[in-house]
Structure 1
Amino acid sequence: MSSEVLTPYGGDRFEAIIIGGGPAGLSVGLNLVRARRRVLILDSNRPRHSATLISHGFLTRDGVSPLELRALGREEFSAYPDAEFHQGLVDSITPPEGDDAGGDFLVVSRGVRGSADRRVTAPVVVLANGLSETLPALPSMRAYYGTSLHSCIECDAYEKAGEPLALIGETADLAERALLISQVTGDLIVFTNGSDAVTAAEEAGLGARGVAVDRREIADVVGDRSGLTGVALADGTVVPRTGGFVRPIWSVPLGFASQLDLVLDGDGFVVVSDGGATSVPGVFAAGDITPPGPQQLIVAAGAGARVAASVNRHLLGAL
């Protein structure tokens, strides 16, 4: 799309299109509209933390529901005349044609829950769409996830203090996560589900801190109306636990951005500069899809504010 045929901003042409309406994307949007930029946020309303009832650590909003936090952010953003929020699932992003660095990106989205399909353009696209997560494949995991079991230690460990806790996972960072959880309880068992996620040296170090490692395969997690009551192992043993943490497998969903030549790190996260610029001129990224991956909500919001400042300066330089 050549810069010679660009229309003024208005209608379906924006200065920035933000993909993702979580704390990172909303923070980018709020700060850009306050810089008098015309901004569209496209969001599918499928947040990764939808099962979480309460979030913590967000200054002035400690204990708020993540969904309420998103709603408050949308309300603040949408109050500005140059702001537009649209519920849609992005299908594709087409970069400017040829070597036209000053051209617009074309973003095509499908409406969800009765909203319209959109074809919109902008010289800047910000990726803030968050991650997909795969939980351990246990039949009853979803029944307790977000209430008895959590993934964010910084967010939820405080409320589990003093309880007999489990840590379930199969990744190499399991021992480090166990150390963090051991700050709040003296009764922690790490369940590796038959994997070698915890080395012998790590197990010895954890043992010195009173943390046990159980390498047996897990059949399921069990509980009642009060919440989790234990971890059921494949050999028939049920280990009593009242809560704990799981380590999901995270992935960056970027199928809609396949036409962009994004540089990713070894774990699939989008490589960015300090200001959030990606390897593609005009494309920025913020939040959990950038290294080091999942962060607290307040960290994602802070990253969004930093990216907004970079985007604003980029647009000034494009004039």
Structure 2
Amino acid sequence: MSTPDERLDVIVIGGGPGGLSAALNLVRARRRTLVVDSNRPRNAATLLARGFLSRDGISPLELRKLGRDEIERYDEGEVVFAVVDEVRALEGGGFGVHARGVRGSADIDATASVILIASGLSETLPDIPSIRAYYGTQLHSCVECDGYEKSDAALALIGETDDLAERALLLSQWSSDLIVFTNGVGTVTDDEERLLAARGVSVNRRPIDDIEGERGVMTGIRLKDGSVVERIGGFVRPLWSPTLDYVDGLGLERDESGLIVVDARGRTSVPGVYAAGDSTPPGPQQLIVAAGAGAVVAAAVNRDLIGQSVAEATSVLAGPSQ
């Protein structure tokens, strides 16, 4: 790892599939790369990752460990566990990063020519007492990731947002026994309800008291009026928010959700700063999508650094202007 006076090529912030994929491609391009990971993944409750080619059914934590190990096989790569407090632009170019070590790791002060943001989002579930007891086992957030395993089951879709109908239509591909629970908050319009009914999906707008279950196995949704609707699993629509306070000082362009605006190659509005994965629109994605995005951004970073080196060399050869 570099010291503040010994500059790295790239510091990747975030050790999920997006950040690790980017880092792997960068070290293979012989770029000195440091991955700084807080080791607090959003999907920590998820037992199995689905839809990842050659790794279908792997534990997400195991997938991350495999990625870290692959990066550290290269002399150019290093992964550390730390929480980034600040990224600052340096006079004359490049960026400084300060991070607090976790799991016994030391604090970090390092500099790099490029910053690649691949950190995740914070997740807020509906305020239902026992929801986390079933989250990651019987209840999930990613329909594409876990829909197949819920095929033909009696499912619930729980949420408090205005996009529940869209999610329910997608989920109806896997099960025709589906009820949307708005918890008295979420919005499903009359037109949307008629559309859902055509797919066999019903809507329950009553407030939820809790999730019922026996020995860790979900059995139903208990409503505030005391009635219980039998359900054996389903999906939750969390609220996601970016955790990007550490780059506030860079002045990055954000969208209305606070996500970092990037071009097709992951370049942000600030030269030398790139982003991939959950922190960019459209937000939460499948792991394999995030990994692909990381590879795309890594290619752009490498090419841009080559262009920068050529420009600097050309300027030196040209000498001072007359």
- Post-superposition offset of 1:13: 2.4
Map of 1:276 onto structure 2 = 266
Q: Does 1:302 align with 2:292?
A: yes
Map of 1:239 onto structure 2 = 229
Which residue type is aligned with residue 75 of structure 1?
D
- Post-superposition offset of 1:204: 0.8
Structure 2: how far apart are the matches of 1:90 and 1:222?
A: 39
1:138 maps to which of 128, 135, 140: 128
Which residue type is aligned with residue 16 of structure 2?
G
Please give the per-residue CA displacement for 1:206-242, whole angstroms capped at 9, x wherever unaligned. Answer: 0111100000011111111251111111111111100
Please give the per-residue CA displacement for 1:243-302, whole angstroms capped at 9, x wherever unaligned. Answer: 000000000111111111111111111100100000111000000111111110000000
Structure 1: how far apart are the matches of 2:73 and 2:223?
A: 52
- Post-superposition offset of 1:11: 7.8
Map of 2:211 onto structure 1 = 221
Alpha-carbon contact 1:9-1:38 (below 8 Å) kept? no
- Post-superposition offset of 1:152: 0.3
Q: Identity across aligned pairs (percent)?
A: 61
Q: Does 1:50 align with 2:40?
A: no
Alpha-carbon contact 2:164-2:186 (below 8 Å) kept? no
Larger helix proportion of the pair:
2
Structure 2: how far apart are the matches of 1:79 and 1:209?
A: 51
- Post-superposition offset of 1:193: 0.7
2:138 maps to which of 142, 148, 157: 148
What is the count of residue pairs matched by the alignment? 308
Structure 2: how far apart are the matches of 1:262 and 1:32?
A: 23
Structure 2: how far apart are the matches of 1:52 and 1:218?
A: 24
- Post-superposition offset of 1:96: 2.2
Structure 2: how far apart are the matches of 1:180 and 1:224?
A: 29
Q: Does 1:32 align with 2:22?
A: no
Structure 1: how far apart are the matches of 2:293 and 2:204?
A: 38
Q: Does 1:90 align with 2:90?
A: no
2:307 maps to which of 297, 300, 317: 317
- Post-superposition offset of 1:121: 0.2
Which residue type is aligned with residue 198 of structure 1?
V
Q: TM-score normalised to the size of structure 2?
A: 0.93
- Post-superposition offset of 1:12: 5.1
Give SS of 2:39's match: coil
- Post-superposition offset of 1:317: 1.5
Alpha-carbon contact 1:151-1:247 (below 8 Å) kept? yes
Residue pairs, 1:46-195, within 5 angstroms: 46-97=40-91, 100=92, 103-195=93-185
